[in-house]
Amino acid sequence: MKQLLSKKNLFLLAVIAVIYAVLFALDAQGFFSRQAKALLVPIGINIILAVSLSLIVGFLGELSLGHAGFMSVGAYTGCMLTVNLDLPMYIELPLAMLMGGIVAAIFGVIIGIPALRLRGDYLAIVTLAFGEIIRSIFNNLSVVGGSGGLNGIPKYSNYTIVYIMLVITIIVITNLVNSRHGRAICSIRDNKIAAESMGIPVVYYKLLAFVVAAFFAGIAGVLYGHNLGILKPSTFDFNKSIEILVMVVMGGMGSIPGSVIAALLITVLPEILRGLQDYRMLIYAVVLIVMMLLNNNAKFNSFKQRVFSKKAKKQGADLAKEGE
């Protein structure tokens, strides 16, 4: 208990509460335009998606192009539940999220199994194929509305619920990453053969990463469905998976705060550029390319390091001292 109430944790708790209260107060004062208000929930959902995918891509080091597939499985499971059940919201929604998460997690195992045999680009294409298969199945499943979509989903998602879920997601994944289990996952990323010879059960930890990531993607899907009130298979296409991947990569691999910020920016950016209409996508594409080129430009990186990274400088100085 003492450790849980450390200064750092109390400070984090305060930050979480303050962000929530400030946004809530601003909203109550009518500060947000209707558009901005409508963005709060999608931002939260995208943060959950990005943080969960970063577990696979950033920490396990495997490329997944099928995250939207997990999201859709969760979304359809949860929404079918609330559409067909007739319970009060405060029972129905948590149940839907739990079920959506669990079913998505089961799919996480299914797609995690090829991950045990395949590496890198081959796994990427399998996850892509998995996403497309799920989508075409939903497209042809009349029980869930087929390509016309699933209608009449109660619009339960609101700012508070999404905020709570996103805080839970961040805490769980951050804690996982900073535990012995997280270290095992990272060791597989850095060197699989060394991890095996350290006795790390690689199979278990690969599956674990996929399962946890899929679970939260499923929850994000449930929230998504209950935000729009309708689910269409076409939402969960390859481009959605890519969008989530872009958030993770732009946020800096293996950085959870980075994923959060990138998810925020990438959700807001298109809305800011709304006035530019057709140019929106073009600008997005250019930003994407330029960001990647800059990130891998030696000159730009050394510039960035000079400006930002005092820590790196200190490490360098220590090393230099060592050498003397």
Site for other proteins in 159-218 (CB under 8 A): 172, 175-176, 179-184, 186-187, 189-191, 193-202, 208
Task: Select the residue interacting with other proteins from 19, 281, 302, 309 (CB under 8 A).
Answer: 281
Q: Give the Cα-Cα-Cα angle 4, 9, 15 (nearest 5 degrees).
A: 145
- Contact between 3 and other proteins by CB under 8 A: the answer reads yes
Give me the helix-helix angle, 120-140 and 238-250, nearest 10°: 140
**Whole-number minimum distance, CB 209 to other proteins, in Å?**
12
Question: What Å distances lie between residue 43 and 37, 47, 53, 142, 277, CA to CA?
Answer: 10, 6, 15, 30, 21
Task: Select the residue interacting with other proteins from 16, 106, 265, 288 (CB under 8 A).
Answer: 288
State which of positions 237-276 bind other proteins (CB under 8 A).
238, 242, 245-246, 249, 253-254
Q: Which is nearer to other proteins, 308 or 318 (CB)?
A: 318
- Contact between 282 and other proteins by CB under 8 A: the answer reads yes
State which of positions 112-131 bind other proteins (CB under 8 A).
114, 117-122, 124-126, 128-130
State which of positions 79-98 bind other proteins (CB under 8 A).
none
* Of 273, 10, 7, 27, the residue nearest 162 (C-alpha): 27
- Give the interface size with other proteins as a residue count (CB under 8 A): 75
Stretch that binds other proteins, among 17-25, 158-166, 264-272, 284-292 (CB under 8 A): 284-292
In eight-state DSSP terms, residue 142 is: G
252: tokens are 């800096």
8 Å CB contact between 254 and 58:
yes
229: tokens are 């009130």
